């Protein structure tokens, strides 16, 4: 009898845990256009109608599913565009070493298999996307044409979208914490800080995301475009009191001449605008903002980008330790990147489950970040970019610039990958000493003389 009762409640529970009022809309597939000297994204349309005209935290997009056969998933950037114009990355150049595709892959906020960036081989099941689908559920009308946009960013391997669907219902992706929900910012902050407190950001590098996504392509990878490269992901999280927020001044310059923001200068480079960091502080009866000069921003046209980047955002180096020198700055530099630029926005968040945000052994999430969700940076535009409190800006290992060139004749042994955020110190933070992380890199050689990472 007891068993039957338990079983009854189990089924009851199960039926309530899936969405009660959900509708699935299906779209057709087709060939994915290969890269040919220029990107031509393949766009698939799907029509949604008959739904209530506003999305919310209790009604909105729940799941996006797709089925792709493709010989090299790391060539693909997959995005979803809503009828109101919100664009979210689902997966960007994630690798399936078996060359199979995305085999019945679903994206949802609490993807059972974790983030797609750590998925591989078939990518079957439900994953957290590389962007944030909760951005669709901000009050916008979900009726109309949705577009799945697949860009093949490298020539040579081809594939096909077989089908795709979106599910909209009463268990939507939502913001985990609604920051200062019913109050204005000042009222919120007055209860948290003393007068005069400055709400600075604090950037850290996610050690976990780099460790999970690092790969060496030795000299023997003669067919690989990544030959003699150490490739790795890098992700910056903000664990401070306020957002890292930058605003462009709108004055685009080619040197001293005026330029057009998305057109190259006479020398082929792209014009720069100066950016200012917006800093919030608590006054007696209001929240003040001031703008401090920061770095520069430009239009980036590399495959998969076509948006605005903050210059000199991060620097990578591969070092060989000199045992008699404590300071890594004095170690031998084997390879160094130019200062790499990034588009600053939140494509992930710090949670207790993903454990992406740690500093000095402490885990950061909504539980200890007082202003979790402060800031809201959903796109890489030129007027405003940033990283919210508790937000993460992730760059995967196959994105442009995410590598160091390795000398073909590098000796086996122990090296250190050094990643420095904001190496020019353009931006003010609570703690400037936690912007650097080091990773031990052990290069070994097998009996055929092929080098690999231990
Ligand atoms: Zn970019």
The answer on 229 and 113 residing in a single domain is: no
Residues 88-104 pLDDT 10s: 999 999 987 777 899 99
pLDDT at 271: 96
Tally of structural domains, the chain:
2
Q: Could you tell me if residue 270 is inside a domain?
A: yes
Burial class (CB in 10 A: 0-12, 13-18, 19+), 254: middle
Distance 5 CA to ligand 1 centre (A): 55
Distance 392 CA to ligand 1 centre (A): 15
CATH of the domain at 79: 2.60.120.260
Could you tell me if 76 and 153 are in contact, meaning their C-beta atoms sit under 8 angstroms apart?
Answer: yes
Distance 369 CA to ligand 1 centre (A): 27
pLDDT at 96: 78
The answer on 334 and 191 residing in a single domain is: yes
Distance 281 CA to ligand 1 centre (A): 30
Please give the C-alpha separations between residue 139 and each of 51, 84, 135, 174, 175, in angstroms, as whole numbers: 13, 10, 9, 11, 12
The answer on 260 and 146 residing in a single domain is: no
The residues near 228 (Cβ < 8 Å, ≥ 6 apart) are 217, 218, 219, 221, 405, 406, 407, 408
Distance 306 CA to ligand 1 centre (A): 7
The answer on 189 and 165 residing in a single domain is: no
Distance 399 CA to ligand 1 centre (A): 8
Distance 344 CA to ligand 1 centre (A): 9
Distance 331 CA to ligand 1 centre (A): 31
Could you tell me if 87 and 80 are in contact, meaning their C-beta atoms sit under 8 angstroms apart?
Answer: yes
Distance 39 CA to ligand 1 centre (A): 15
Distance 30 CA to ligand 1 centre (A): 27
Burial class (CB in 10 A: 0-12, 13-18, 19+), 131: buried
Q: Could you tell me if residue 227 is inside a domain?
A: yes
Q: Looking at 103, 137, 169, which one is the last position of a domain?
A: 169
Q: Token digits for 62?
A: 């729940």
Residues 350-393 pLDDT 10s: 999 999 999 999 999 999 999 999 998 988 889 999 999 999 99
The answer on 414 and 287 residing in a single domain is: yes
Q: Give the CB-side neighbour count of residue 6, counting CA atoms within 13 A.
A: 3
Residues 54-87 pLDDT 10s: 999 899 999 999 999 999 999 999 999 999 999 9
The answer on 405 and 281 residing in a single domain is: yes
Q: Could you tell me if residue 15 is inside a domain?
A: no
pLDDT at 3: 45
Closest by Cα among 189, 186, 198, 295 to 240: 198
Distance 208 CA to ligand 1 centre (A): 22
Distance 51 CA to ligand 1 centre (A): 34
pLDDT at 15: 36
The answer on 261 and 128 residing in a single domain is: no
Distance 309 CA to ligand 1 centre (A): 6
Residue 434: which domain range?
Answer: 185-453
Burial class (CB in 10 A: 0-12, 13-18, 19+), 73: buried
Residues 140-181 pLDDT 10s: 999 999 999 999 998 888 899 999 999 999 999 987 666 776
Distance 398 CA to ligand 1 centre (A): 12
Distance 233 CA to ligand 1 centre (A): 13
Distance 59 CA to ligand 1 centre (A): 31
Q: Token digits for 283?
A: 């006054």
Distance 89 CA to ligand 1 centre (A): 12
Distance 284 CA to ligand 1 centre (A): 40
The answer on 206 and 134 residing in a single domain is: no
Confidence grade of residue 19 (pLDDT, cut at 50, 70, 90) = low
Q: Bridge partners of 291?
A: 278
Confidence grade of residue 303 (pLDDT, cut at 50, 70, 90) = confident
């Amino acid at each position: 009898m007891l068993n039957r009762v338990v079983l009854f409640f189990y089924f009851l529970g199960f039926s309530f845990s899936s969405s009660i009022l959900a509708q699935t809309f299906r779209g057709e597939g087709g060939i994915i256009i290969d890269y040919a000297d220029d990107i031509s994204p393949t766009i698939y349309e799907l029509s949604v109608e008959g739904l209530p005209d506003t999305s919310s935290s209790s009604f909105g997009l729940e799941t996006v599913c797709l089925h792709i056969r493709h010989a090299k998933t790391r060539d693909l950037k997959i995005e979803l565009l809503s009828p109101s114009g919100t664009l979210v990355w689902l997966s960007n150049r994630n690798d399936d070493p078996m060359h199979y595709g995305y085999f019945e892959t679903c994206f949802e906020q609490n993807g059972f298999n974790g983030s797609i960036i750590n998925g591989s081989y078939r990518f079957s099941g439900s994953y957290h996307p590389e962007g944030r689908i909760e951005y669709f559920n901000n009050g916008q009308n979900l009726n109309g044409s949705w577009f799945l946009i697949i860009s093949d960013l490298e020539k040579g391997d081809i594939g096909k979208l077989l089908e795709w669907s979106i599910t909209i219902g009463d268990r939507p992706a939502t913001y985990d914490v609604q920051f200062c929900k019913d109050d204005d910012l000042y009222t919120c902050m007055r209860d948290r800080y003393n007068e005069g407190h400055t709400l600075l950001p604090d950037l850290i590098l996610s050690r976990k995301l780099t460790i999970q996504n690092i790969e060496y392509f030795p000299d023997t990878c003669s067919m690989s475009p990544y030959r003699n490269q150490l490739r790795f992901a890098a992700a910056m999280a903000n664990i401070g009191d306020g957002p890292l927020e930058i605003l462009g001044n709108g004055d685009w310059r080619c040197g001293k001449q005026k330029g057009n923001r998305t057109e190259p200068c006479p020398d082929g480079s792209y014009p720069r605008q100066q950016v200012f960091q917006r800093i919030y502080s608590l006054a007696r009866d209001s929240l003040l903002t001031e703008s401090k000069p920061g770095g520069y921003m430009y239009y980036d046209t590399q495959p998969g980008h076509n948006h605005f980047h903050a210059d000199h955002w991060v620097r990578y180096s591969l070092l060989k330790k000199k045992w008699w020198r404590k300071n890594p700055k004095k170690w031998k530099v084997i390879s160094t990147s130019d200062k790499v630029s990034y588009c600053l926005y939140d494509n992930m968040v710090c949670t207790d489950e993903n454990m992406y945000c740690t500093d000095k052994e402490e885990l950061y999430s909504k539980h200890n970040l007082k202003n979790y969700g402060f800031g809201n940076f959903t796109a890489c535009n030129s007027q405003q970019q940033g990283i919210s409190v508790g937000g993460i800006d992730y760059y995967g290992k196959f994105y442009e610039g995410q590598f160091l060139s390795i000398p073909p004749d590098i000796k086996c042994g122990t090296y250190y990958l050094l990643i420095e955020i904001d190496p020019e110190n353009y931006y003010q933070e609570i703690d400037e000493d936690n912007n650097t992380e080091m990773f031990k890199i052990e290069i070994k050689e097998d009996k055929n003389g092929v080098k690999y990472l231990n």
